[in-house]
């Protein structure tokens, strides 16, 4: 059996990171109760598709346990002993492995349960201790979630069987693939290529709009990193907010000429002092002026003028109907007197206003480009990064009160939304809400009232901020 030693060490260092990891306090493998715990856990992991049984950790605190440690850990959990227990009870024989990894100077057994189950593994024997029947013949054990969403081992119920069957069928499908490769080895290469081409056409997965948006975000991020490298730019560390917009539908023909950027500039509503996809052609700094690369307008703007708020924008304006913006979070980069320390805050009102502005500008651009409002959809992706540790605040306008103490434990949030082009500006608040609720929820489950989002969106559109 091939064993990933690095993966095992990660399990010891961070034992809670996977549902296929079973944590047990120290077990006596010579006592019926300890035997039952080992057998049940191993059979459950086998039916789950493989995993790891890590011994000597508390399942609740995830910390090493000092009580009940055998005098000789490696002898107590020797491979032959554990394999013998598994073979004694498993209805289908399978090979396990036992590795030992140290934590705080103490060896912990890690029982590695392989994948590849093709039929559910049940117990073939009873295990009785006194009046208790710890394991019954025909028991099928599975990994399940308790009511508090922590994994545990339990006897299979009706809700568990679809997952068990799915795991078994997936492994059988892999066997079919090996069978085909073995028996097709005698077929000519030309016939194999033809067959593979036919299969690929039939099985090619459908690319979703979200897949396209994620791909465009990656493209924009890679281009940003390339610009940073080319210009040898040294920037303060910061979190970022990104927008990817794809116009889905028939986009009239445009090219990356002056007329196109003039069209976008004249159609941008300029709701704020630093608008989304702003035109920087009149900036004093030549380095901030837009330029054309591979038929796409780009601009890289670093503004740190005295007496003004600092800004960092990178944008791409594609005449084919694709728009990208990467902006440093104002919470980290503004440089204003009220600005918080970088990486400590995210202003909820600013998030609402900027998201609403991006949607409104996207609608204005698509209409200016001549897209048919009844047959066009705007696909947006919004991504926030470097969120972990921030507190949800209202530092930009303290009068927008929000109680403190809500912190993010997730570093990145990505949300996608599709908006018909014929959506009136008075109705975009519903889409702003869809975008932002997943963001706010990472701050200790916070949910911003729709009436607040509607009010801020309306104020933006009516220019009453």
Q: If DSSP states are collapsed to H, E and C, what string results for 299-363?
A: EEEEECCCCCCCEEEEEEEECCCEEEEEEECHHHHCCCCCCCCCCCEEEHHHHHHHHHHHHHHHH
Q: How far is 415 from 408, CA to CA, in rounded Å? A: 16
Judged against a pLDDT cut of 90, whether residue 252 lies above it is answered with: yes
Band (191; pLDDT cuts 50, 70, 90): low
> Which of 49-63, 168-182, 197-211, 279-293 bottoms out in mean pLDDT, i.e. has the lowest?
168-182
Q: What is the three-class DSSP state of 73?
A: helix
Could you tell me if residue 247 is inside a domain?
A: yes
- Read off the pLDDT of each residue in 359-367 and give the average, rounded to a whole number: 97
Whether residues 214 and 329 fall in one domain: yes
Judged against a pLDDT cut of 50, whether residue 6 lies above it is answered with: no
Could you tell me if residue 201 is inside a domain?
A: no
Could you tell me if residue 186 is inside a domain?
A: no
Whether residues 144 and 283 fall in one domain: no
371: left (phi over 0), alpha (psi -120 to 50) or beta: beta
Burial 201-216 (b: 16+ CB within 10 A, else e): eeeeeeeeeeebbbeb
Could you tell me if residue 44 is inside a domain?
A: yes
Q: How far is 161 from 171, CA to CA, in rounded Å? A: 16
> Which of 56-70, 141-155, 267-281, 316-330 bottoms out in mean pLDDT, i.e. has the lowest?
141-155
Whether residues 140 and 241 fall in one domain: no
Alpha-carbon Rg for the chain in angstroms? 29
What is the structure's pLDDT at 330? Answer: 93
Whether residues 370 and 441 fall in one domain: yes
Q: What is the pTM of this model?
A: 0.59
Whether residues 301 and 387 fall in one domain: yes
CATH of the domain at 29: 3.30.950.30
- Read off the pLDDT of each residue in 162-175 and give the average, rounded to a whole number: 73
Judged against a pLDDT cut of 90, whether residue 118 lies above it is answered with: no
Whether residues 252 and 326 fall in one domain: yes
Could you tell me if residue 316 is inside a domain?
A: yes
Could you tell me if residue 194 is inside a domain?
A: no
| Token code pair at residue 79 | 């491979």
Q: What range defines the domain where residue 114 resides?
A: 5-164
What is the structure's pLDDT at 181? Answer: 56
**E strands, 197-321, where?**
240-248, 291-293, 296-303, 311-318
Judged against a pLDDT cut of 80, whether residue 182 lies above it is answered with: no
Percent of the chain with pLDDT over 70: 86
- Read off the pLDDT of each residue in 32-49 and give the average, rounded to a whole number: 90
Nearest to 33 by CA among 141, 117, 150, 132: 132
Domain boundary among 132, 164, 196: 164
Band (145; pLDDT cuts 50, 70, 90): low
Q: How far is 215 from 416, CA to CA, in rounded Å? A: 13
**Domain count across the chain:** 2
| Token code pair at residue 323 | 């728009």
Could you tell me if residue 193 is inside a domain?
A: no
- Read off the pLDDT of each residue in 227-252 and give the average, rounded to a whole number: 95
Beta bridge partners of 312: 302
Any idea which residue has 């790891």 for tokens? Answer: 52
Whether residues 222 and 356 fall in one domain: yes
- Read off the pLDDT of each residue in 408-436 and give the average, rounded to a whole number: 96
């Amino acid at each position: 059996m091939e064993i990933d030693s690095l993966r095992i060490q990660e399990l010891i260092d961070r034992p809670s990171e996977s549902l296929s990891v079973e944590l047990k306090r120290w077990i006596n493998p010579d006592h019926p109760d300890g035997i039952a715990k080992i057998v049940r856990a191993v059979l459950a992991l086998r039916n789950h598709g493989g995993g790891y049984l890590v011994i000597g950790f508390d399942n609740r605190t995830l910390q090493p346990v000092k009580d009940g440690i055998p005098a000789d850990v490696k002898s107590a959990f020797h491979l032959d002993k554990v394999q013998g227990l598994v073979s004694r009870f498993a209805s289908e024989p399978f090979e396990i492995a036992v590795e030992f990894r140290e934590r705080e100077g103490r060896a912990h057994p890690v029982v590695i349960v392989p994948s590849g189950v093709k039929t559910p593994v049940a117990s073939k024997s009873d295990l009785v201790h006194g009046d208790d029947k710890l394991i019954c013949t025909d028991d099928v054990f599975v990994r399940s979630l308790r009511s508090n969403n922590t994994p545990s081992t339990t006897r299979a119920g009706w809700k568990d069987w679809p997952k068990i069957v799915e795991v078994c069928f997936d492994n059988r499908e892999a066997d079919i693939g090996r069978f085909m490769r073995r028996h097709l080895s005698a077929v000519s290469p030309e016939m194999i290529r033809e067959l593979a081409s036919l299969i690929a056409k039939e099985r090619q997965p459908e690319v979703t709009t979200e897949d396209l948006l994620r791909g465009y975000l990656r493209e924009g991020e890679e281009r940003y990193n390339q610009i940073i490298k080319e210009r040898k730019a040294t920037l303060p560390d910061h979190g970022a907010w990104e927008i990817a917009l794809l116009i889905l539908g028939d986009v009239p023909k445009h090219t990356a000429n002056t007329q196109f950027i003039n069209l976008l500039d004249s159609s941008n509503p300029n709701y704020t002092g630093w608008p989304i996809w702003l035109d920087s052609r009149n900036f004093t700094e030549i380095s901030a002026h837009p330029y054309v690369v591979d038929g796409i307008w780009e601009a890289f703007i670093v503004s740190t003028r005295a007496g003004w708020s600092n800004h960092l924008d990178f944008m791409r304006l594609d005449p084919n109907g694709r728009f990208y913006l990467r902006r440093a979070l104002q919470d980290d980069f503004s440089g204003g007197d009220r600005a918080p320390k970088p990486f400590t805050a995210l202003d909820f009102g600013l998030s609402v206003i900027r998201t609403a502005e991006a949607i409104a500008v996207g609608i204005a651009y698509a209409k200016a480009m001549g897209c048919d409002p009844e047959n066009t959809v705007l696909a947006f992706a919004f991504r926030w990064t470097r969120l972990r540790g921030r507190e949800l605040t209202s530092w930009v306008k303290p009068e927008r009160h929000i109680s403190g103490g809500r912190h993010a434990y997730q570093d990145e949030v990505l949300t996608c939304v599709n908006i018909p082009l014929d959506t009136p500006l008075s109705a975009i608040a519903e889409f702003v809400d869809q975008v932002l609720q997943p963001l706010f929820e990472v701050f200790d489950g916070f949910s911003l009232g729709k009436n607040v989002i509607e009010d801020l969106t309306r104020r933006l559109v009516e220019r009453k901020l």
